[in-house]
Amino acid sequence: MQTVGDLVTLLSTAARKALPDITDPDDKQHDRHTEACPLSCLHLSVRVTNALKYAHTPPRTIGALLHMIRTDQLTEVRNIGRRSLAEVHQALTATGFDVRHTNLI
């Protein structure tokens, strides 16, 4: 006969296998960001991340995002306005990229 405790254990084990681990050991924090780093290194808001995800050619790395900025493609992305551009500018500046001479703000 199974108890409620057995059922809870079964459900929590199944949930751990089904859901991604938030503290993934392969996702190491690093001090120096490069253009090869994924966009997740910028810690952008969900709103900006979703807008970039549905862009014509979604950037997967910081370098691809910088390319979009340099070629004025970022301003063409739907749901990317002044506030989103300011957030991207702040995130890139905070991670050490020089975006002073771009049209982000």
Higher pLDDT, 27 or 10: 10
Mean pLDDT over 58-79 rounds to 93
Please say if the pLDDT value at position 98 is more than 90. no
* Model confidence, pTM: 0.68
CA distances from 63 to 57, 58, 68, 91, 97 (A): 13, 12, 9, 13, 10
Instruction: State phi, psi for 38 to the nearest 5 degrees.
Output: -70, 160
Task: Tokens 């924090």: give the residue.
Answer: 29
Higher pLDDT, 9 or 28: 9
Residues pairing with 97 in the sheet: none
Mean pLDDT over 26-36 rounds to 70
Give the per-residue pLDDT at 24.
41
Please say if the pLDDT value at position 44 is more than 70. yes
